[in-house]
Structure 1
Amino acid sequence: GLVFQGTAGSEFNAYDAATGDKLWSFAAQTGVVAPPVTYTVDGEQYVAVLAGWGGAYALSVDGALIADKAPVRNVSRLLVFKLGGKAQLPPAPELAELPLDPPPSKASADVIALGQAKYGRYCAVCHAPGAVGSTVLPDLRRAGSLESASAWNAVVEGGMLKDNGMASFAGSLSKDEIEAIRAYVIHRANEDKAIEGTKKVARR
């Protein structure tokens, strides 16, 4: 028999159920985290899987762990396979990435430490540890609102992006704490910009 499994590394694989040997692999161009299904139509068997990079792992994993291998883009599509199938995917779309160009980090160590603590509690679950986001939600190190305390506050406290899924944290964070989070993200962005050419990120 066969066992099919998708991977976060953009592969959809088939294994020998008895030995575990990999027998076949398909480059899906995106993470595959959903379980596949199989069915028959007029006596012909198909295997189908919903492909797309998302879910809890894609949101919360440190983006650096992904980038160390290759960026995983989200390309949502239904993939269906059959023996002898010859269809091919179109070329993978470009993965657009904003430049890492933060404002200077000027906050005190105490403010940055407060921001790190609050970021870890309220932000990391979606925007990833260390502010190194995956490709599912915005990488805050590259956010344009880092340049302006009022713009940052309009998003975090004012709920300016609530229709896009970014809820207001007005009931959970004070203005000083929101500004401390901005200071921490600026600090992290400057750390990583300093070593950007090495293809690594600071582990903070």
Structure 2
Amino acid sequence: MGENYDGHDFIGSALKKGADGFVFESGYKEKLKLWKKNLKLKNFNGLIILQSDNNLTFLENIAYSYIRKFSPTVIGITGSVGKTITKDFLVNILSKEYRVEFTPRNYNTEIGVSKSILEIDSQTDFFIAELGMRGKGQIEMLSGICNLDIGAIMAVGESHIAFFKDLREIAIAKAEIAEILYKNNGILFLNNDD
């Protein structure tokens, strides 16, 4: 489930393309019959079908467990500006010597970060994530999913002012990255000019 799309609408086409299964939210049980009818399936035998109370939470929990299974060094980058260029710079440098996975483009939400985590494997040395923010608690949540080892706050500016009272509140929300780094004995880089 996203802002613009409901993943349930894509289950039928995913099954047609050979998906081995799907996850659906409890409230969509009636759609199961429709998918089965439209796909001319007698039953769902052989498919992995998981029911969740909330698909976004399910995706986040899968990503949370998945990144801990492989334990790459995880770098999280937040800030009002400079996230993408910093991520791209680090990917360029580190990938010369290491296997690096990262959030593509600006996949910096709970969906984008979680989906990107699912691209790592046992050969991944580094995972670099942009951590976007649409409100209080989001940086803490994304940092927790990623299990950060290293973090950076690039800049604190007014680009998120619609969600906060003032620049001070934005800075406090960006500083949520420090909580998981503290728990993980991690390293935090700050833009000293800000």
The question of a shared fold, defined as TM-score above 0.5 by the shorter chain, is answered with: no
TM-score when normalising by structure 2: 0.33
Q: Which has the greater radius of gyration?
A: 1
Please state which structure has a larger fraction of its residues in helix.
Answer: 2
